[in-house]
Amino acid sequence: MKMRTILIAAAITAALAPALAIAKNPTLGRGVHGTARAGAPDGVATSNFIVNLGGINTDALCGNAATPGAGNTVVSVNLGKNAVVTGVGGVGSYTSFTPSWRSEVTAIFRGNDPLQSIQLGFSNDDSAGVANYNIPVIDLTGQSLSNINTGNAGVLNIELCETFADGTVSPDATFAAGANLQIAYYVPAVPAPAMSTWSMLAMLLGFGLVGGLAIRRFS
């Protein structure tokens, strides 16, 4: 009877193994991911910003397109009013601790519009250990993704999180010293305010008065 119980347990474990593998594999893979969009690129990057990730832990599930997950670290970067993020990348390393996977570490970038949120995956490695990443800045519109507009606040929020949170380890991963993210962006030029008809008339009258005074002075 005891041997039969062991065999039944082994059979159940084998039957559950594929389901467990599916549950553990929600990763998106290395690179940028988001909602596909149509249209021409929204401008060309003129500036770059480096975000230091050294010492940051990832430990909980990522949030949705609008809201970070509870307990996750969010780095806020002020790029300037109405700044537009055109690309993201990064260089560095981090360690994922067993049973967490390197491919589960993710950065989510959010600006003024949740529909423009994108995720950056650092690794395709479905195992624990050290991940060294070197991701040249990826042009978002080149990947059929929307650029990220920061709106009047000018703030880009970056959530560091996990696509699968392992409950038996905390934290799931830690970024090493020197690890970073790189942001390419531009700030649109502010157009000169349009001059109203009354302002133009006042200016012309002012010029007329000055001209009249000059003529009177030298006549």
- CA dihedral (69, 70, 71, 77) in degrees, to 10, reads 50
Asked if residue 167 is part of any domain, the answer here is yes
What is the percentage of the chain residues whose pLDDT exceeds 70?
73
Tell whether 114 is covered by a domain: yes
Lowest-pLDDT range of 68-77, 160-169, 182-191: 182-191
128 within some domain: yes
Tell whether 28 is covered by a domain: yes
Q: For residues 22, 126, 103 and 16, what is the CA-based torsion angle, rounded to 10 degrees? A: 20
In a domain, 135, yes or no: yes
pTM of the complete model: 0.77
**pLDDT tens, residue by residue, 73-112:** 999 999 999 999 999 999 999 999 999 999 999 999 999 9
DSSP string for residues in 42-83? -----EEEEEE-TT-EE-SB---SSSPPTT-EEEEEE--TT-
CATH number of the domain that residue 80 is part of = 2.60.120
Number of domains in the chain: 1
Residue 124 lies in domain: 24-189
- The rounded distance, in Å, linking the Cα atoms of 23 and 20 is 5
Instruction: Look up residue 194 and give its amino acid.
Output: A
Contact 162/56 with Cβ under 8 angstroms? no
Does residue 173 fall inside a structural domain?
Answer: yes
Residue 219 counted as domain residue: no
